[in-house]
Amino acid sequence: MISSVTAWLFDTYPIADGVALWFIERDGRRRRCWHSFRPSFYLHLRGGDVRRAMMLAARCPVRVEMVPTTRTEIYSGDAVGVLEVFVHDALRFAEAVRFFERFFPHYAFYNSDLLVPQLFLYATQLFPLGFGEYHVDETGKVVGWSLLDDRNAVDYELPPLNILRLRNANDLVPPKYQRTLQLEVAYDGTSYALEQEDPASVIESLNWHLHRTDPDIVVTEYGDGTLLPKITEVARKLRMPLLFNRDEGASYRTTKESSFFQYGKIVHKDGAFEFAGRWHVDQENSFTVAEANLDGLYEMTRLTQMPGQRQSRASIGTSMSSLQLSWAYRHGILIPAKKREPEEFKSAATLLLADRGGLIFNPPLGYHDDIAEMDFVSMYPTIMVKRNVSPETINCRCCDNKRVPELGYTVCERREGIVAATLRDVVRKRAYYKQQRKKYKGKDECLFRIYDHRQTALKWMLVSCFGYLGYKNARFGRIEAHEAVNAFSRDAILTAKEIAEQAGYQMVHAIIDCVWLKKPGATEQDYEELGRVISRKVGIDISLEGMYNWILFPASKQDPAITTANRYVGWYRHGEIKMRGIETRRRDTPQFVKHMQAAMLRLLEDVRNAGEVNERLPAMLEVVREHVALLRSGRANPMDLVLRRHLTREADEYTTNTVSAVVSKMLQETGIRVAAGEMVEFIILDRTGKRKPEKAKPLALYAFEDGYDIEQYTEFALKAAETLLAPLGWDFERLKGEMIKGVSGKRSKSKGGVVLQADLWDSAVTGG
């Protein structure tokens, strides 16, 4: 007997017979079903190896079935003969792949490194949080469906989701550094502290809350790396069940932590700890949730067809890749397990032209006014879509049009590229969400936040798609396509510059996809009309971001005579401040220094032009003087002096006695292992190491009597002040001489660091 279930697909994961499917029905009922899906991968073999593979199939520890078929190779567009290998136990898909890789290490494997849930969703074109009518037999097997939803929809309905938040109530330091946990759960607007003294009672209380609310999503802080491993280990030792899994017959799905290089720096990622039938979202291990909240996660999960728990932990590149993989699957294109397309040979002359990024014009040093900022809207994604830039369309075999500026690369005219095809809807959706955000701003705060979170999630995908195009390990990446986008973008900026200068505007600054222009007396309407002219000529929309009352381009930290492209701060005429690269914006700046610089900037909020900035100089100097005096009195709140750094190596790999080495080794001695790429929080006690061998202390081990390094934190504060004051004649040396005058003499050592005598406080505040 077949029944129909009108519901949202919520979760999917592999089981021996295929995949388990969890649905949330309209009335709120949660229902587990299953589908007899057999995942498959492809082998591209030659001659006798085809017969050999079929003979080996009988020896495979997992039951497999081989079927000769034809699929399309992406770069050539040719149909190729392959063996499709169906695996009858979805839980052992990776095991079957590894078996054949041992015998055919030099042959191409396709679709072999994809996860079973994604293969299922690509094959069926279902997607998490997708609404539809699902047909189920008496055993719970899904035998068919009619989707009533579209993953590219912009106005969609979500299921009624129950959300429970689980965290460590003592949030002074992360749970990893704590010996005991003080759990706190929150749902339905109420928080509950689990204050029982013995672990068994805590587990019982946690289970009671899980049973009471039956959450669809459990949101944690540090859940992957610390919280859930500790809780489940305690429950295991006590032989007590836990209700994290909605599917009681399934186990948790875990992965190992990893450290890896990304964009020139080492990054650490905690291993995943996933539930069955519920989503576990660790907000500390999720870029999507950190940037775009759960609304952004829902949007990305629907769009990329990745199960919610995997999407929450996925990088932007992985999310972008999933869009491309789904498109390739739908069009019968083979998905290579390893990138095999080499970089084309180039002459030295071509390399000189090609090996450049976006165009940058460095701005003049100091404060300026009467300047407008204009931004190209999603420049790089738009170039990829409109110019059909994709790895398989650049220098194709069928065309010879040399369309790429400067480089003379050809762009295919006969077929649409995978990158252009997958980005088109993302660009369209983000534009719609931005319009809706603007529509509801100040009118409906709830809808404003939803649309803002959705467009933010898509923004990061569009920002990253260009870099991923040139990433050496990108599955559908190719350096020539990356170079082509850069060439088109440089041409667009130069064209905009030419048009602006012909109309009497001066280009003050430009960076990649933004230009700063100046024309005395020009109005917002003048700039908007200029934007329309540029857009028609270039083929990319450009919008007026705003006109500045004043904008500062500070000096480079390496050379005080020049500026850098990505450091500036200014107040728009419409009342908002914009800052990039300065201390207040940086994550590695102590809060004390951020507060000081922010207070200085607030003094410039109502300044109408660059000339008036100098009038606020005395007030800004007074802010600096007060903060430096507080630092040098030894009375600054140490919690405002915490520094955050990512470790570049393991504790025992450091060969020099740097602050990072001291902190990581100190943690290791207390039994806390910190991996390369992980962030540590610490307070500097004595950067020189001359007065105290402990240069710094981790926040987890810090006591208030330890003090702090006055000289080092004074330097941090004065460097931040210099950023804003150097154009007004106050560089670091002048600030140092003035701000610590009269308070640099008498010192006394405390147990933990260098502090000033209390009787110098009054003179420090007055500068006497």
Residue 294 pLDDT > 80 = yes
The region of weakest confidence among 185-189, 262-266, 407-411, 649-653 is 262-266
Q: At what angle do helices 418-440 and 379-386 cross, to 10 degrees?
A: 140
HEC string of 430-480 equals HHHHHHHHHHHCCCCHHHHHHHHHHHHHHHHHHHHHHHHHHCCCCCCCCHH
**Do residues 665 and 646 lie in contact, with contact meaning Cβ atoms separated by under 8 Å?**
no
Burial class (CB in 10 A: 0-12, 13-18, 19+), 291: middle
User: pLDDT: is 663 or 343 the higher one?
Assistant: 663
Residue 487 pLDDT > 90 = yes
Degrees to nearest 5, angle at CA 629 with 628 and 631: 65
Instruction: Report the Cα 161 to chain-centroid distance in Å.
Output: 25
The region of weakest confidence among 90-104, 471-485, 660-674 is 471-485
* Average pLDDT rounded to a whole number, residues 169-192: 81
Residue 355 pLDDT > 80 = no
The region of weakest confidence among 145-159, 326-340, 547-561 is 326-340
> In the prediction, which pLDDT does 172 show?
65
Residue 759 pLDDT > 50 = no
**Do residues 754 and 686 lie in contact, with contact meaning Cβ atoms separated by under 8 Å?**
yes
User: pLDDT: is 75 or 153 the higher one?
Assistant: 153
C-alpha closest to that of 659 among 595, 708, 703: 708
- Of the pLDDT bands very low, low, confident and very high (cuts 50, 70, 90), residue 684 is very high
* Average pLDDT rounded to a whole number, residues 362-385: 94
- Of the pLDDT bands very low, low, confident and very high (cuts 50, 70, 90), residue 171 is low
- Of the pLDDT bands very low, low, confident and very high (cuts 50, 70, 90), residue 754 is very low
**Do residues 632 and 712 lie in contact, with contact meaning Cβ atoms separated by under 8 Å?**
no
> In the prediction, which pLDDT does 125 show?
95
What's the half-sphere exposure (Cβ side, CA atoms, 13 Å) at 135? 7
pLDDT digits (tens, 9 = 90+) for 635-679: 999 999 999 988 888 888 888 888 888 888 888 888 888 888 888
- Of the pLDDT bands very low, low, confident and very high (cuts 50, 70, 90), residue 749 is very low
Residue 260 pLDDT > 70 = no
* Average pLDDT rounded to a whole number, residues 7-30: 96
> In the prediction, which pLDDT does 389 show?
94
- Which residues partner with 168 through β-bridges? 183
Take residue 291 and report the two structure tokens written for it. Answer: 């940037």
* Average pLDDT rounded to a whole number, residues 255-284: 83
**Do residues 684 and 643 lie in contact, with contact meaning Cβ atoms separated by under 8 Å?**
yes
* Backbone dihedral angles phi then psi of residue 617, each to the nearest 5 degrees: -55, -50
Residue 671 to residues 225, 498, 659, 661, 667, Cα–Cα distance (Å): 16, 62, 19, 16, 7
HEC string of 148-175 equals CCCCCCCCCCCCCCCEEEEEECCCCCCH
Q: Percent of the chain at pLDDT above 90?
A: 71
* Backbone dihedral angles phi then psi of residue 337, each to the nearest 5 degrees: -70, -30
pLDDT digits (tens, 9 = 90+) for 106-127: 888 999 999 999 999 999 999 9
C-alpha closest to that of 359 among 495, 246, 458, 478: 495
**Do residues 23 and 9 lie in contact, with contact meaning Cβ atoms separated by under 8 Å?**
yes
User: Checking DSSP bridges between strand 279-282 and strand 217-220, what pairing results, if any?
Assistant: parallel
> In the prediction, which pLDDT does 182 show?
84
* Average pLDDT rounded to a whole number, residues 67-91: 93
* Average pLDDT rounded to a whole number, residues 620-639: 94
pLDDT digits (tens, 9 = 90+) for 499-516: 999 999 999 999 989 999
The rounded mean pLDDT for the chain is: 89
Residue 744 pLDDT > 70 = no
The region of weakest confidence among 67-71, 242-246, 258-262, 528-532 is 258-262
User: Checking DSSP bridges between strand 190-193 and strand 183-187, what pairing results, if any?
Assistant: antiparallel
Residue 335 pLDDT > 60 = yes
Sheet with 679-684, strands from edge to edge, namely: 643-646, 679-684, 696-698
**Do residues 120 and 39 lie in contact, with contact meaning Cβ atoms separated by under 8 Å?**
yes
* Average pLDDT rounded to a whole number, residues 254-272: 75
Residue 357 pLDDT > 90 = no
* Average pLDDT rounded to a whole number, residues 523-549: 95
> In the prediction, which pLDDT does 764 show?
30
Show contacts of 737-746: CB within 8 Å, 24+ apart: 738/621, 738/625, 738/767, 739/624, 739/625, 739/628, 739/714, 739/767, 740/628, 740/632, 740/714, 741/767, 742/767, 742/768, 743/629, 743/632, 744/632
* Average pLDDT rounded to a whole number, residues 6-26: 96
> In the prediction, which pLDDT does 743 show?
53
Residue 3 to residues 26, 27, 483, Cα–Cα distance (Å): 15, 16, 54
Residue 761 pLDDT > 60 = no
